[in-house]
Amino acid sequence: GAVVSQHPSWVICKSGTSVKIECRSLDFQATTMFWYRQFPKQSLMLMATSNEGSKATYEQGVEKDKFLINHASLTLSTLTVTSAHPEDSSFYICSARRQRNEQFFGPGTRLTVL
Amino acid sequence: GDSVTQMEGPVTLSEEAFLTINCTYTATGYPSLFWYVQYPGEGLQLLLKATKADDKGSNKGFEATYRKETTSFHLEKGSVQVSDSAVYFCSSQTGANNLFFGTGTRLTVIP
């Protein structure tokens, strides 16, 4: 149990387009979902925390209008990178938290913006 | 606030060598401590955890002991394999707060 999926696993897009990444908890209801960004050879940077039905809480320095997060249900959160630029190219990882503060990570989505 | 400091890599070892990756933490409360592993091109997987002082987490031959007196949670394995090549992240969590990650240590095991 406790599987988190992400879709797509990788995406290539042109500069200026928007990209949506889905994060699903497949076999449990997640009270909270998190979005991380990972640069090459670096640690995970928490971007935002989202709770179902409420607005996401963004970390300092993360643009809310750039990275739109929608947590529509207890099993689905989406991250939309709007008007993507090459500097947005990165590995995006989501995680989902269920009871007892256990956090489970998705496999990640590699975004490449040309 | 909480923070985690772990040994910088990369670490390169021969197969069957002994592995230690150091990790120390700072926290205002009593955190739970974790080691996550990230294989190439994949997300993070929980490797092991410990929730209180003197607990030992273990999995797949890896071990780490929660040392409150030295605020450490060093990862060890007696005999590494090529398949252990990955990036290892130490992390801490206090209560319902977010996870704090170290910078990651890349391990390469050569045959």
Give per-residue pLDDT as tens, B63-83: 999 999 999 999 999 999 999
pLDDT value for A101: 67
Task: Give B55 or B40, the one with higher predicted confidence.
Answer: B55
Check: CB of residue A111 under 8 Å from CB of residue A90: yes
- Considering only CB atoms, A49 lies closest to which of B41, B46, B98, namely B98
Under an 8 A CB cutoff, do A105 and B43 touch? yes
The overall average pLDDT reported for chain A is 91
A101 touches chain B (CB under 8 A): yes
B8 touches chain A (CB under 8 A): no
Check: CB of residue A77 under 8 Å from CB of residue A49: no
pLDDT-derived band at B41 (thresholds 50, 70, 90) equals confident
Q: What is the mean pLDDT of residues B97-101?
A: 83
Q: How far apart are CA A95 and CA A101, in angstroms?
A: 12
Residue of B nearest to A100 (CA): B96
pLDDT-derived band at A6 (thresholds 50, 70, 90) equals very high
Interface test with A, best of B89, B98, B105, B107 (most A CBs within 10 A): B98
Q: pLDDT digit string (tens) for A43-67?
A: 788 999 998 888 899 999 999 999 9
Check: CB of residue B103 under 8 Å from CB of residue A43: yes
Q: How far apart are CA A43 and CA B105, in angstroms?
A: 9
